[in-house]
Amino acid sequence: MPTVDVGQRLRAATGEEVVVKLAATPEEARAEAAALAGWRQTGAAVRLVDADLSCGALLLERVRPGTPLPTGTIQRPLTWPRTS
Protein backbone atom coordinates (compact mmCIF):
# COMPACT_ATOMS: atom_id res chain seq x y z
CA MET A 1 0.00 0.00 0.00
CA PRO A 2 1.50 3.40 -0.95
CA THR A 3 2.05 5.89 1.86
CA VAL A 4 1.67 9.64 1.84
CA ASP A 5 3.18 12.12 4.28
CA VAL A 6 1.36 15.39 4.84
CA GLY A 7 3.05 18.53 6.14
CA GLN A 8 1.70 21.88 7.33
CA ARG A 9 3.82 24.96 8.05
CA LEU A 10 3.10 26.75 11.34
CA ARG A 11 4.67 29.02 13.92
CA ALA A 12 5.26 27.70 17.45
CA ALA A 13 4.43 29.76 20.54
CA THR A 14 8.13 30.68 20.65
CA GLY A 15 7.87 32.21 17.17
CA GLU A 16 9.93 29.43 15.63
CA GLU A 17 8.77 28.23 12.22
CA VAL A 18 7.76 24.58 12.44
CA VAL A 19 6.15 21.93 10.26
CA VAL A 20 3.64 19.35 11.42
CA LYS A 21 4.26 16.10 9.57
CA LEU A 22 1.66 13.35 9.70
CA ALA A 23 3.18 10.00 8.85
CA ALA A 24 1.06 7.33 7.21
CA THR A 25 1.27 5.10 10.30
CA PRO A 26 2.40 5.47 13.91
CA GLU A 27 5.14 2.90 13.18
CA GLU A 28 6.58 5.11 10.42
CA ALA A 29 6.48 8.10 12.76
CA ARG A 30 8.35 6.11 15.44
CA ALA A 31 11.00 5.05 12.93
CA GLU A 32 11.46 8.60 11.64
CA ALA A 33 11.63 10.04 15.16
CA ALA A 34 14.29 7.47 16.07
CA ALA A 35 16.32 8.30 12.96
CA LEU A 36 16.10 12.05 13.65
CA ALA A 37 17.15 11.46 17.26
CA GLY A 38 20.19 9.55 16.01
CA TRP A 39 21.27 12.46 13.81
CA ARG A 40 20.35 15.19 16.33
CA GLN A 41 23.85 16.02 17.51
CA THR A 42 25.30 16.26 14.01
CA GLY A 43 23.15 19.19 12.88
CA ALA A 44 22.80 17.44 9.52
CA ALA A 45 19.11 16.62 9.87
CA VAL A 46 15.96 18.54 10.64
CA ARG A 47 15.33 18.90 14.39
CA LEU A 48 12.45 17.00 15.94
CA VAL A 49 10.73 19.55 18.19
CA ASP A 50 7.98 17.28 19.55
CA ALA A 51 5.93 14.25 18.58
CA ASP A 52 2.68 12.44 19.27
CA LEU A 53 3.67 8.99 18.07
CA SER A 54 0.30 7.43 18.92
CA CYS A 55 -1.26 9.32 16.02
CA GLY A 56 1.86 9.57 13.81
CA ALA A 57 2.40 13.33 14.25
CA LEU A 58 5.87 14.89 14.22
CA LEU A 59 6.59 18.56 14.92
CA LEU A 60 9.74 19.49 13.01
CA GLU A 61 11.76 22.65 12.65
CA ARG A 62 11.17 24.28 9.29
CA VAL A 63 14.13 24.16 6.95
CA ARG A 64 14.08 26.37 3.89
CA PRO A 65 15.65 25.38 0.57
CA GLY A 66 19.27 26.48 0.41
CA THR A 67 19.86 26.19 4.16
CA PRO A 68 23.54 25.22 4.49
CA LEU A 69 24.50 22.03 6.27
CA PRO A 70 27.10 22.24 9.04
CA THR A 71 30.72 22.25 7.92
CA GLY A 72 33.38 19.91 9.19
CA THR A 73 33.31 16.21 9.83
CA ILE A 74 29.92 14.67 10.44
CA GLN A 75 30.17 11.41 12.32
CA ARG A 76 27.67 8.60 11.88
CA PRO A 77 25.11 8.53 14.67
CA LEU A 78 25.59 5.75 17.18
CA THR A 79 22.07 4.42 16.63
CA TRP A 80 22.48 4.03 12.87
CA PRO A 81 22.33 0.34 11.89
CA ARG A 82 25.69 -0.93 10.68
CA THR A 83 25.70 -2.92 7.44
CA SER A 84 29.20 -4.40 7.53
- The CATH code of the domain that includes 31 is 3.30.200.20
In a domain, 74, yes or no: no
Amino acid in position 49: V
Domain containing 14 equals: 6-61
Q: Supply the pTM of this predicted model.
A: 0.69
Q: Where are the alpha helices (DSSP H) in the chain?
A: 26-39
In a domain, 14, yes or no: yes
Q: For the chain, 84 residues long, give each residue's pLDDT as a single digit of tens.
A: 455 556 667 888 888 889 889 999 999 999 999 999 988 888 778 899 999 999 999 999 988 888 776 665 555 554 444 444
Q: Give dist(CA 25, CA 31) in Å, integer.
A: 10
Work out how many domains the chain is built from and give that number: 1
In a domain, 67, yes or no: no
Q: Give dist(CA 41, CA 23) in Å, integer.
A: 23
The length of the chain, given as a count of residues = 84
